[in-house]
Homo-oligomer: A and B are copies of this chain.
Amino acid sequence: MEEQVEMVGRAFADHYYNLFDHDRNALVPLYQPASMLTFEGQKILGVDEISAKLSQLPFDQCRHVISTVDSQPSALAGGVVVVVSGSLQLHGEDHPLRFSQMFHLIPTEQGSYFVQNDIFRLNYSVPNPSPGRQATTRSHRGNSSSSSSTADGFGTGTPCP
């Protein structure tokens, strides 16, 4: 059971990012009308809207490299939650961007899975006192969409005395 969940998560991640990098339109059948994608804080509901979002992303060529895949059985019979971390190299950019993406996979009657929940975030570096690293961090922020951690209202952090 445990091994099967790991295999599903890993196989899904390999499949998903291979399609994303080489034939992005082929991702669309992985979603269904009730699927939800949150992309850098922007919520997108349903396969048609998700398809439109994927085709409108402001980069044509990219390459995902997976660092980690963590999978668990979900509370829904046969479902699997998968969290992937990795890096995303955009064509023409010097530095890869770190990302995390969570999927909730639900089994279909055909013996496959569809994506019920999909949450994608770029992981920005923490600024430190080194001017070189701060400059890099700012450059990465500049490449992001307008739905940054500040824009979505969650950028101020938990008050921790």
Contacts and interface: CB of A to CB of B under 8 A. Distances in A.
A74 B128 CA distance: 37
A91 interface: no
A8 interface: no
Contact of A43 (B2, B74, B130, B157): B2
Interface centre among A10, A87, A100 (most CB of B within 10 A): A100
Contacts of A13: 158
Interface in A69-119: 69-70, 72-76, 79, 81, 83, 85-87, 95-98, 100, 102, 104, 106, 116-117, 119
Interface stretch (A23-31, A47-55, A60-68): A60-68
Interface residues of A, number: 59
A160 B89 CA distance: 11
A74 to B, nearest CB: 6
A13 B154 CA distance: 11
B41 A95 contact: no
27 contacts: A2-B43, A13-B158, A18-B158, A36-B72, A38-B70, A41-B68, A41-B70, A43-B72, A68-B121, A68-B152, A70-B121, A75-B79, A75-B104, A75-B106, A81-B102, A81-B104, A81-B119, A83-B83, A86-B157, A95-B126, A97-B126, A98-B126, A100-B100, A100-B123, A102-B102, A102-B119, A132-B133
Interface of A: 2, 10, 13-14, 17-18, 21, 34, 36, 38, 41, 43, 63-70, 72-76, 79, 81, 83, 85-87, 95-98, 100, 102, 104, 106, 116-117, 119, 121, 123-126, 128, 130, 132-133, 136, 149, 152, 154-155, 157-158, 160
